[in-house]
Amino acid sequence: MEINGVQIDDTYAEAFPTWIARVIITAVTEEWAYRSAVEATGFATSAIGCPCEAGIEGFLSGDETPDGRPGVAVLFCTGKKKLKEQVVERLAECVLTAPTTAVFDGLPDAPEKIQVKLHFFGDGYEYQKEVGGRKCWVIPVMEGEYIGEEEFGIVKGVAGGNFFVMGENQMATLIGAQAAVDAISAVCGVITSFPGGIVAAGSKVKSNKYKFMPASTNEKYCPTLREKVPDSKVPAGIFAVYEIVIDGLDEDCVKEAMAEGIRAASLVPGVKFITAGNFGGTLGPYKFELHKIL
């Protein structure tokens, strides 16, 4: 199968379940909501070494937020127990502390909830108030008052949706990956948690040589090792590979993100081949077949 002259491998991306909270951060301007969201979702690329995976899902206008102010929707993804702990710490340290921010539950219809009790920070001076139909706590702080919901819906979503962009040299492939991330940023319900949305150094589980390593370089996808490892998966003429990893609220939005991202990458000159990563079904229950989703 080819799209815009780029060959699409006949394979599938394998993904696995994750618990997700969706937090809406609002502020006096979009810029302040964004700054807080960037801090709150940092150090959150991969569950391998970060305490969670997190990222910005999208921007919201005042019409779409409970308090009528501009906002940013962020997703936090990890195991159920760790999710609560991470949302508490990240909201407490990176949003409550940020200028003019408020937080609201972005999944009010989810049946499962986590409690994020920041109001104890108020040391008894806090009080309750309804904002846009949401039960909030108001905490007196140095800038004035912080406002936030404390119950957040969580859903079982999808982690590890992915595809690999391969190209004739590094720079062309990088811009191909960037175009993919641009396109995915317009899709609702998903994040790409790596820096700039792109993985430059994909990993395999464990290491062949160093037994203490939980993960190591995916040598079969390393262009410089093409002639040195058996069964290299780097096609002839490919000199760089970038992976796009997608976490999303459900299978449909991950599918849409993969399709939009692949189409966008295929339009960048120098991109030659697109495939996806799987572990033969041993990793997780979700399969996204490239030829079907496109």
Contacts of its own copies in 222-251 (CB under 8 A): 222-225, 228-229, 239-243
- Per-residue x/- track, 101-130, its own copies (CB under 8 A): x------------------xxxxxx-----
Q: Which of 11, 20, 35, 104 binds its own copies (CB under 8 A)?
A: 35
Closer to its own copies by Cβ: residue 110 or 198: 198
Q: How far is CA 26 from CA 59, 179, 271, in A?
A: 10, 28, 38
Beta carbon of residue 117, minimum distance to its own copies (angstroms, whole number): 10
Alpha-carbon distances of 287 from 20, 160, 183, 251, 279, rounded to whole Å:
19, 10, 21, 9, 11
Who contacts 100 (Cβ-Cβ below 8 Å, separation ≥6)? Answer: 27, 28, 29, 32, 143
Residue 72 touches its own copies, criterion: CB under 8 A = no
Helices (H) and strands (E) in the chain, counts: 5, 17
Contact between 260 and its own copies by CB under 8 A: the answer reads yes
Nearest distance from residue 111's CB to its own copies, in Å? 28
Query: Looking at 9, 168, 250, 289, which residue binds its own copies (CB under 8 A)?
Result: 168
Q: Does 164 bind its own copies (CB under 8 A)?
A: yes
Closest CB to its own copies among 110 and 248?
248
Q: Give whichever of 17 and 270 is closer to its own copies, judged by the CB atom.
A: 270
Length of the chain: 294
CB 234 within 8 A of CB 152: no
Q: Which residue has the tokens 């079969």?
A: 220
Which residue's CB is nearer to its own copies, number 211 or number 282?
A: 211
Contact status, residue 248 vs residue 257, Cβ threshold 8 Å = yes
Give yes or no for residue 93 binding its own copies (CB under 8 A): yes
Q: Across 110-236, where does the E strand assignment appear?
A: 112-115, 127-131, 134-141, 144-148, 151-167, 190-191, 203-205, 215-217
* 11 lies in the binding site for its own copies (CB under 8 A): no
- Using an 8 Å Cβ cutoff, are 6 and 268 in contact? no
Q: Which is nearer to its own copies, 112 or 143 (CB)?
A: 143
Kindly tell me which of 269 and 285 has the beta carbon lying closer to its own copies.
Answer: 269
Beta carbon of residue 193, minimum distance to its own copies (angstroms, whole number): 9
Should residue 48 be labelled a site residue for its own copies when binding is judged by CB under 8 A? Answer: yes
Q: Whose Cβ is closer to its own copies: residue 1's or residue 28's? A: 28
> Which of 182, 190, 192, 173 has its CA nearest to residue 245?
192
Work out whether 215 is an interface residue with its own copies (CB under 8 A): yes
